[in-house]
Amino acid sequence: MKIKFSLLAAIPVAFYPVVIQAEENQLNNIETISIIGSRAPVEKSTLASSVSFINADTIAASGAATVPDLLRTFASVNLSQSGPIGTLTEVRFRGSESNHILVLLDGVEINDIAQGGLVDFAHILVSDVESIELLRGPQSALWGTSAVSGVISITTKKSEILGQHRLSSNIALGTQSTNQIGLSYKTKQNNVMVSANINHYATDGDNIAREGSEDDGYRNTSFNTNITYQSSAQHKLTFNARLIDFKSEFDSIDFVNTGLPTDADNFSNGDQLSAMVRWDFKPSKSIWSQSVSYQMNRSATDNFSSDAISGSIFSGGTIGETQRLNWINYVDLGDKDFINIGLDAVKEDFEQSGPVVFGDPNQQQENQTISILSDGQYEITQDLYTSYSVRADNSDEFDNAESFRIGLNYNFSDNFKVFVSRGKAIKNPSFTERFGFFPGTFTGNSALIPESSYSSELGFIFNGLAQFNAAVTFFDTKLEDEINGFVFDATSGAFTAQNLEETSTRKGLELSLYGDWDSLSWKASYAYLEAKAPSEVELRRSRHSGSATVNYSLDYRNNLYIQADYTGSKQDRFFPPLPNPSQIVGLKPYWLVSANYQYQYSERLKLGIRVDNLLDKSFEDVVGFVGQSRKILLNLQYQWN
């Protein structure tokens, strides 16, 4: 059925529904309340899923510049970064592909459909981030087709104190000619809350290639704002927007001699815009409430290559835009029982442009989907909870699809719980996989069908003691109709994408430990993964990975944060010069150690020094692309009022 998206705008629809609840309650309870475990905030103690948090204190203590620096501490996260800071940074979770995890920033989905549905985490700076939440497992029934292996929710800072005006700034200088400057303003007056943050980051960077001396720099200017108007106890309006403008330099590939990156003055210019407007309505003395919203996300990237005669020339670009409408009704059934029912409508537009050389890459494509969804929770007996989520999708381009998740959670005590769950997730082929065209290298396949993922989980969580907490999760996932994007097509002489006939599997274990001892907070994680495809090698996934962090307050002025992340050996695909066929090569395991020291000079002034890759370890996440070398950054933060 063809869906007329313009007509849907006439009905009351919303997305990322949240029951009316004070923002300060969500922020203060972020360790106990999950904002993505359901279509309404839900207590972690009743959730039949594994959820991890990074809170504001940890983020501030880390001194990290980008979100990927923090994501490494989550169990089962594999980062693939094509060089130093600013280069393409993909996240593979639980052995899945990088476009199998959905990312929300202040409730807005920021997956880039122009880049195959993945999120390039290189451009998400930490400057105004309040918390990061990771919900594991298949969540397509809740959040749509990108949420195959999990959901990451990033929340920015907001004012918490009524009558407060807070203006703060930060300045940072470091090696590789790195500089950063930011300004933030937050206020909460009567029934209005406003926050705004602007940040500029620039660095000369490192050399991506193994050989040569040409550095590849990066520049990022970002702005975000949140405005909330609580007109009455029944009505609340929310608006947020995020704008990023960046330039990232990169090298070319020597297709003639080595097949590896070589120095070049190539660069990408890009901009990203995401925004949301939402109306929450909760009638007085009613068990029913609703949320009505609209969100959009637009990403545009233009690539330029170096030319000895004419200088930089345009080599191609993409634009991806997603508009989402959604309507969720929340019914409070008493105690911790509830049900959500809603509609979800999505319109996706894809545009590719480039010079016409041995074929025309210029094209425009679109897809529209409308979905019916529901989730809920019910207490069967004391401390035994069952939960569900279901979704039915009707798409312009694909057959009707259904996804689901069911779970049981039993609290043996206030400190110990066990959960089990089973779910199905759907991932539609990306526009790039279906229609992408890169002369001589890749031709899309419009006949692709969606991937289907079936996953089971068993988890044990021990929580409630300050000194020691633990969580262990076992997962077993089967992926049917997996899309392989590296299939050689003899007819075109280029690669294309195809659905595999065999079933791929991902099995593993995740262990997380954390606790507090007086002035010391610590956290450790480990993950074991078996990712197998019968006829293909699963690339860029480590069998063993882990992380350990220590945050120590020496006294009320001095704080030391140390983070050590381990990435085990993994495999990648190398393309040597023609006519040699592609090869599977191994990437060596490595440890990355970072440290941050902060000194609270006064109530308003804080000084810090952050060292990335403290041991100056040489490593590669992508074959031939050299990772970030040691980097030192001095930081000054000042709160004006």
pLDDT above 50 (res 18): no
Strand partners, 384: 381, 410
Which residue from 12, 546, 549 is spatially nearest to 279, judged by alpha carbons?
A: 12
Please compute the mean of the pLDDT values over residues 131-137 and round it to a whole number.
96
Q: How confident is the model at residue 159 (pLDDT cuts 50, 70, 90)?
A: confident
Residues 199 and 242: their CA atoms lie apart, in Å, by 12
In the numeric block, which tokens belong to residue 204?
A: 């000369």
pLDDT tens figures, 467-480: 899 999 999 999 99
Band of residue 309 on the pLDDT scale cut at 50, 70, 90: low
Whole-number percent of the chain with pLDDT over 90: 82
Q: Which residue has the higher pLDDT, 556 or 439?
A: 556
- pLDDT band at residue 317, thresholds of 50, 70 and 90? very high
Please state the rounded mean pLDDT for residues 160-168: 85
3-class state of residue 514 by DSSP: strand
CATH assignment of 13-639?
Answer: 2.40.170.20
Extract the tokens encoding 566. 């381990």
3-state secondary structure of 253: strand
Nearest to 116 by CA among 381, 320, 332: 320
> Percent of the chain, pLDDT > 70?
95
At residue 275 the predicted structure's pLDDT band, cuts being 50, 70 and 90, is very high
Average pLDDT, the chain: 91
Say if residue 450 is preceded by a cis peptide, omega within 30 of 0: no
- Of the given ranges (17-21, 411-415, 535-539), which has the lowest mean pLDDT? 17-21
Residues with Cβ within 8 Å of 525's Cβ and at least 6 positions away in sequence, in order, are 73, 74, 75, 510, 511, 512, 513, 546, 547, 548
Length of the chain: 641
Has residue 4 got a pLDDT over 70?
no
Q: What is the pTM of this model?
A: 0.93
Q: Average pLDDT in the 217-233 region?
A: 96
Q: How far apart are the first and last CA of the chain?
A: 57
> What is the tens place of the pLDDT at every residue in 360-385?
999 999 999 999 999 999 999 999 99
Question: What DSSP string runs through 568-599?
Answer: --EEEEE-PSTTSPPEEEEE--EEEEEEEEEE
pLDDT, residue 310, reads 67
Q: What is the mean pLDDT of residues 100-113?
A: 96
Q: How sure is the predictor about 31, in pLDDT bands with cuts at 50, 70 and 90?
A: low
For the cut 70, the answer to whether the pLDDT of residue 119 exceeds it is yes
For residue 387, give Cα distances in angstroms to 49, 100, 392.
10, 23, 18
The sign of the CA dihedral 25, 31, 36, 41 is negative
Residue with the two structure tokens 């150690």 = 593
Maximum Cα–Cα distance across the chain: 76
Least confident of 33-47, 117-131, 331-345, 538-552: 33-47
DSSP 105-139: ETTEE--BGGGTTB--GGG-BSTTEEEEEEEES--
Rounded Cα distance between 86 and 78, Å, is 17
Sign of the torsion formed by the C-alpha atoms of 31, 35, 41 and 43: negative
Distance, in Å, from the CA atom of 276 to the CA atom of 271, rounded to the nearest integer, reads 17
- Across the range 240-253, mean pLDDT stands at 96
Domain ranges of the chain: 13-639
CA distances from 637 to 147, 169, 349 (A): 37, 6, 41
Give the whole-angstrom CA distance, residue 91 versus residue 89: 7
In sequence order, which ranges of 312-467 are alpha helices (DSSP H)? Answer: 431-435
pLDDT tens readout for residues 484-530: 988 888 887 888 999 999 999 999 999 999 999 889 999 999 999 99
The two tokens of residue 348 are 């996706």
Q: Which of 109-113, 173-177, 354-358 has the lowest mean pLDDT?
A: 354-358
Give pLDDT tens digits for 544-595.
999 999 999 999 999 999 999 999 999 999 999 988 888 999 999 999 999 9
The answer, yes or no, to whether residue 236 has pLDDT greater than 60, is yes
Q: Give the model confidence (pLDDT) of 191-219 as tens digits.
A: 999 999 999 999 999 999 999 999 999 99
Q: Which of 26-30, 80-84, 308-312 has the lowest mean pLDDT?
A: 26-30
Position 17 pLDDT exceeds 90: no
Q: How many of the other CB atoms lie within 10 Å of CB of 518?
A: 9
Q: 237 near 250, Cβ under 8 Å?
A: no
